[in-house]
Every structure is written in C-alpha cells, then in structure tokens.
Amino acid sequence: MERETEPKRRGARRAAPRRGPVGMVVGFFGELLMTAGVVVLLFVVYVLWGTGLQTAAAQNDLRGELSFDVDSSETDGEALAPDDIDIGEAYGVIRIPRFGEDWEWVMVQGVEDEDLKNGPGHYPNSANPGELGNFAVAAHRSGHGEPFAKFPELHVGDIIEVVMADGTYVYEIDDAPNGDPDGNKIEIQDTWVVDPVPGEPRSTEPTERRITLTTCWPRFGSSHRMFATGVLISEEAR
C-alpha cells in the first residue's frame, strides 16, 4: 500500500514566479525612476541648503571687507568711493523690511553668476545710491541664500534702505508685484528696466534718483525676470 503524500507545511515558501519581458521592463524603469528621484532630491537639497552655506560664509567675508561700519553713523575717512569698488568686492548693505525685520544683505559689485552666488549684486553700469539715475540691484530667488525669495510680496509704498560708506539712502517702492506671483514679469532681454530712465533711450538725461530690483521668474527657474522700482525719499550723510 502506497504511503500517503506528506501534507505541505504551513508557511512553506513558494517559488517566486518568473517575471516575463514586460515585468522586467517595468521593473527596470521603476528602478530608474527611483534613482532619478533620489538624484533630483539630492540636487534640491544642494540648491536650497548646500549653496546657502556657501553664501552665508561669503556674506561673513564680505561684511569683513566693507570699508565702513554698518552700525555706525561715523566714518574714518578711509572708505572707498563706490566707483572704486572692483567687481566681486563688498559694495554696501541693503535692507528690505517687507522681507523681515532681520533681512539684511551685503551687496557685491557685479551681477554675473560668480557675483550673485555671494549675495545681491549692484549693476556696475547703473547709478550709485543717491545719484541721479537708476541704482539697480539683482539677486537670486532660490539657492545661494535666496535673498529675493519673497520678491512677489513687495508692494507699492514698501521701503528699501541702502547703507553705504557716505550715508544711508531710503527709497520708496512705486511699482511692484503687489502680491501677484506673476506681477511685473518681463522677458530676459528686457534690460530697459535698469536703464538710467527706464523705458526711455539710454541717452535720456535722468531727473530722478531711482532704484530698480530684478530677480528670476519663476522662483525655481530663470525663463523670465521680475522687477520692482522706487524713488529716493531721504538720505542721511555720515
């Protein structure tokens, strides 16, 4: 008499079914997408955190390079004139209360990538603070400390304070995004916003002391630009 077959043990492992060609392709692309996701995540972390550390260190260095004491109303007579400041060097300090009570950045001379990775930059061919014409400043919205992250929140009537070796200049914004994330959006080639008299030929003689701020649009991209403008309302010499 034949012995009855021993019943299978509970919990015994079953052989994993073989994946067909379609399953293999799906699995491959799934792993590829997971890898790509990790790479993107690491890149985002680097942009928002890694570059911020670099910029923070650069800001400390720039503050030490300033030829004047930001918190003092006095000068020792040895401060550099704005026109004598070389590209990449500390230029002055900018404060925008709309972005926070402690929002304060040392500006550099220049607006190339190498300059803006260290902080807001002064357009070298634009006016200096307090001069007739258009004092223009650019800064990043994402990465490198994202100084202009809240740019769309600027409103008409907001104040911009610029501290230089010879004094403090206060501007009042008269054209801004006013909370619109797409407000004052322009094409990259619309460099007229930083002309001496925006919207007029560069040969036009300025009659106002103005300021223009520019940044990238969208926040995590650079297909366009955004801008805000203002006019000088007061100045206090050292």
**HEC letters along 132-146:** CEEEEEECCCCCCCC
**Cα separation of 108 and 231, whole Å?**
21
Q: Which of 122, 140, 155, 224 is catalytic?
A: 140
d(CA 111, CA 179): 25
Could you say which of 122, 144, 155, 216 is catalytic? 216
> Is 140 one of the catalytic residues?
yes
Query: If DSSP codes are grouped into helix, strand and coil, which group holds residue 83?
Result: helix
Neighbours of 198 (CB within 10 A): 19
- How many whole angstroms from its chain centre is CA 229? 17
Structural contact between residues 115 and 109, judged by C-beta atoms closer than 8 angstroms: yes
Tell me the H-state helices in the chain: 21-45, 51-65, 113-116
Q: Among all residues, which ones are annotated catalytic? A: 140, 216
